[in-house]
Chains A and B, each alone.
Chain A
């Protein structure tokens, strides 16, 4: 079981709601994935559109499937905007969980570390369970821990790129050094990427694009579900590790025989 702030999750696969072709498909896929934490964005209500209820089918089944909501601050470009967005989200959805997502760069959607750190410090003090989306920067993760975040969410590769764990070596360092849960978010393109992240010791992964744009999102969601379980089990079972090709050198401990 995974604990983040005051919540417990039996699934280590978190999902997003974007890019699906329709909201029923999104709902079916998320439920098939077994995910218990779903992230969503905020937008202004379109006053002319009365039938805008994209998340409706999902929210209707929230209790039935133990779906926890993780609103994100996507769209915010500064710490102030993110704090404002988080407060609106808390008000709208009734949850103190928030994913701080500040990407002023519209091309690659890479996160702004400085605004993110500022926003997280403010939001933690306001009682939010903060989960920041950031680059895989180990020092930044420790700084975020110090300001009281509930977890860290380093990216594997740019959002939507499906490039997998390009930041693998740095994720490894983060996992080693972190005292809060580590959730790999962004860029996980295939179930094998997810399994690898879990084998490395990640606490959870967040997958959106790879499921939403698959030919059969529901089947892909199930594949990810299985991959995350397999990866975690392998991690707990203790992987054999690759052997190190040590440079052969003369015996170093023979002197002990003479002592």
Chain B
């Protein structure tokens, strides 16, 4: 039994209709409840909830402060490789795209780590494309082992792996895995993923189950907003999270809301989410799952991030480079022909930290310690 069995019971069109038929009364009911159910989440992401945005934001802020205090966790993504054997029509690393491919060698990795440590980061997210020949499990494992002494929290965002592989990486020091379904609309998914292992919708969908069974500390879920109707995809993310929390109850969860950005290939999103709607979505997630980590990336502009932070975000990246080798060499930063997507918030970490403090929050660099586990 995995989420796939539950997922096959969900009807995309029915969900979409339900969302669009939510009324102001439904929204108010959700706003006044603690412990929301999935149905109430649908009310909060519906068009009917748009006039209630300020109320949602106030409640979201309160719940976040109550649970997380006045802190914001900072992390940095490190792209180890942009080599990829998949064709994903929306991604800068897609196999067909003529970009310079690079995979970090160990000495280059060391340089990146040195640069990153100078900036103060202690939580790191390792990112790769899918190229098992070049960046397979053993490569990732070596990287984790090499990074372990320098970072208190290591997470990865790579291709889905088998349970045993995850267990092996966990033994090396892996703390968290982010795996986004991109879109939960099966036939749309087929149209975006034209080649490579990523074409396997089911295997990707069951990744969180494999992670839960492996006993990992934290799992990140989400959809790439824009690939299909953003409300319905978000409803699917919420259903996925609900199932995971009940089944793998010892695990922590993180939600992300990457919005499609321009990248190599000129891909246009099918469903556009406005800034206002993104705020609505963030608040809806917070009201639905007060304990979930909500993560905001540098895809968003500095202004947007600064204002949204106090509303419900608990973790964010700063000064990201989405291509391999982006930190050690400042000249490479902004080298567009290696990027996965364009960054919109280019501020250095100190500037981001200042902005966070200006909002009455404390930037946290380290929030994790391997005292008695492995």
Contacts and interface: CB of A to CB of B under 8 A. Distances in A.
Chains A, B in direct contact (C-beta < 8 Å): yes
Interface of A: 142, 172, 176-179, 238, 240-244, 246-247, 249, 251-253, 255-256, 259
Contacts of B32: 240-244
Contacts of B303: 255, 259
The CB with the most chain B CB atoms within 10 A, among A172, A177, A238, A240, is that of: A238
B275 A256 contact: yes
B129 interface: no
Chain A binding surface, main DSSP class: loop
6 contacts: A243-B32, A246-B62, A252-B310, A253-B53, A256-B276, A256-B307
A255 B53 CA distance: 12
B218 interface: no
Contacts of B343: none
B57 interface: yes
Nearest to B249: A142
Given A177-B249, A240-B32, A256-B279, A246 B59 contact: yes
Given A241-B33, A252-B57, A253-B53, 9 more contacts: A238-B29, A241-B32, A244-B32, A251-B54, A252-B310, A253-B54, A253-B57, A253-B276, A256-B279
B144 interface: no
A259 B304 contact: yes
Interface of B: 29, 32-35, 53-55, 57-59, 61-62, 245-247, 249, 275-276, 279, 303-304, 307, 310-311
Contacts of B53: 253, 256
Nearest to A178: B246
Contact of A240 (B29, B35, B245, B246): B29
Chain B binding surface, main DSSP class: helix
A244 B59 contact: yes
Sort A-B residue pairs by CB-CB distance and give the 6 closest, nearest first: A241-B32, A252-B57, A241-B33, A255-B307, A246-B58, A256-B276
B144 to A, nearest CB: 29
A118 B303 CA distance: 56
Nearest to A176: B35
A241 B55 CA distance: 16
A21 to B, nearest CB: 42
Given A249-B61, A255-B303, A241 B54 contact: no
Contacts of A179: 246-247
Contacts of B61: 249, 252
A176 B275 CA distance: 32
Given A177-B249, A241-B33, A252 B311 contact: yes
A241 B275 contact: no
